[in-house]
Amino acid sequence: MAAIIISINISDKKGVRKKAVASAVLRDDYGIEGDAHASGRWHRQVSLLALESIRKMQAMGLKVGPGDFAENITTEGVALPVLPVGTKMTVGEDVELEVSQIGKLCHSRCAIYEQAGDCVMPREGIFARVIKGGTIKVGDGIRVEGLKK
């Protein structure tokens, strides 16, 4: 299966579920235009979570989907948590991202954790810096540098 974008998600405030959009503009060393987490000058400019991870939470009985974990890009077909920091990927035609962090420390328990007793984002979500910006859209391919087919 080829790796693709399932959903692109943004919000104008931090700490809320993100809403799906059909396409987004990523700016060099900044993040996604219009998203509260874009600010440049730090390593967590864009967040990614695999649909495969979301399905784990759905299997626990939660009614969750893309954007509910506050991820910017929901993917399918690539094992995000095993990509080492520094891995480069091309999204769409020519947007270049570099993995900058795997998982994150949650300072407080989110609503998903409270409902299920677990949340996949801290373990399986990844963060990236925007090396080369451009426009991405749902359905675009994702090519990981050095990934064996």
What is residue 84's predicted lDDT score, i.e. its pLDDT? Answer: 94
Q: Model confidence over 21-69: pLDDT tens digits?
A: 999 999 999 999 999 888 777 888 999 999 998 898 788 787 889 988 8
Fold of 4-144: M1 Pyruvate Kinase; Domain 3 (2.40.33)
Residue, of 143 and 109, whose pLDDT is higher: 143
Helix (H, G, I), strand (E, B) or coil at 6: strand
Which H/E stretch holds residue 71?
A: none
Chain segment 75-134, per-residue pLDDT in tens: 999 999 899 999 999 999 999 999 999 876 554 555 444 544 455 665 788 999 999 999
pTM score, two decimals?
0.87
Residue 13, pLDDT score:
82
Residue 40 DSSP code: S
Residue 146 in tokens: 């050095």
